Amino acid sequence: MTGLCSGRVTVVTGAGRGLGRAHALAFAAEGAKVVVNDLGVGVDGTGGAAGPAHEVVEEIRARGGEAVAHGGDIATADGAASLVATAVGAFGRLDTLVNNAGFLRDRMLVNLDEDDWDAVVRVHLKGHFLPLKYAAAHWRAEAKAGRAPEARVISTSSGAGLLGSVGQGNYSAAKAGIVGLTLVAAAELGGYGVQVNAIAPAARTRMTEQTFADTMAAPGPGGFDAMAPENVSPLVVWLGSAASAGVTGRVFETEGGRITVMEGWRPGPTADRGARWSPAEAGEAARKLLADAVPPQPVYGAR
């Protein structure tokens, strides 16, 4: 390894398993000191155990790295505040926040309970907002004290948040919200030395084992396992390092050996008559514009 993150302190939420675990190990391998956050819940967010976070900490230490566990609920103010305090208390600083924690409660919209909506939006969207809020407050204070940080935030969206996914209305809405939050945070925090980006990863984890059931068999040519979560982590580590200077407010899709810069909403065909349209005229104009527009990509799972 190159020591890309030597001297930096990184917090990773949801780091007990899957993508979060891969990120934590990858940051440690590049010299970062890591706070491993995880509640140890099931794939649907129920239950909880301290074991997964401590197991990852022990893995990092066994490889010669430094890490501490944090078992707080980052979708609460107390849990998010203590997450930042743990990094500063254990290692004296905070440089990178990787928001990754989440779970699924998939249902078609007509069968989606209010509790399942609230739970998924809470852990994904609120669980991004609160750690970001408290980390940003810390970095703002550092900047005002004359200690300008080279701080980094990596948010975790999804293809479901960019395109939508049938049966995942709650998850898709939360992941789309994370993109909006990322763009606002990048604009608001840049003056304090904070860069904020998002990834939309695809990898084999507990949350995606059904989605990728057909691609979970043997590795491809050369033994490359395209769905391994470890494939996503190199980009996250780079985004979380000082080497990514100048990169902010971006969304990257990443899967296997592929990295794509997602370009988001941009103005397409436009009509302006300089006066109010009637409903019929607005409809006629809209149909003409749609005929000239690029068709949207299909929603995941749509027939």
In the chain, which residue ranges form alpha helices assigned H by DSSP? 18-29, 51-62, 77-91, 114-121, 127-144, 159-163, 169-189, 233-239, 279-292
Q: Residue 269 has what DSSP assignment?
A: S
Closest CA to 259 of 300, 228, 231, 298: 231
Closest CA to 139 of 76, 193, 88: 193
155 is catalytic: no
Report whether 87 contacts 94 (CB < 8 A).
Answer: yes
Closest CA to 240 of 63, 23, 49, 80: 23
175 is catalytic: yes
Residue 33: strand, helix, or coil:
strand
- Residue of 175, 192, 241, 244 marked active site: 175
Q: Do the domain assignments include residue 267?
A: no
Q: Do the domain assignments include residue 271?
A: no
Which residues touch 66 (CB under 8 Å, ≥6 apart)? Answer: 28, 33, 34, 60, 91
pTM (two decimals): 0.91
Report whether 196 contacts 136 (CB < 8 A).
Answer: no
Supply the range of the domain harboring residue 22. 9-262
For residue 117 the two structure tokens come to 């909506």
Q: Do the domain assignments include residue 1?
A: no
Q: Do the domain assignments include residue 3?
A: no
Q: Do the domain assignments include residue 142?
A: yes
- Residue of 82, 155, 157, 158 marked active site: 158
- Residue of 155, 157, 165, 171 marked active site: 171
Say how many domains are in the chain. Answer: 1
CATH code of 194's domain:
3.40.50.720
Q: Do the domain assignments include residue 160?
A: yes
pLDDT by position in tens, the chain (length 303) = 789 999 999 999 999 999 999 999 999 999 999 999 998 765 554 555 568 999 999 999 999 999 999 999 999 999 999 999 999 999 999 999 999 999 899 899 999 999 999 999 999 999 999 999 999 999 999 999 999 999 999 999 999 999 999 999 999 999 999 999 999 999 999 999 999 999 999 988 655 555 544 444 556 667 889 989 999 999 999 999 999 999 999 999 999 999 999 998 999 999 999 999 999 999 999 999 999 999 999 999 987
Q: Do the domain assignments include residue 292?
A: no
CB-neighbour burial class of residue 294 (10 A; exposed 0-12, middle 13-18, buried 19+): exposed
158 is catalytic: yes
Q: Do the domain assignments include residue 300?
A: no
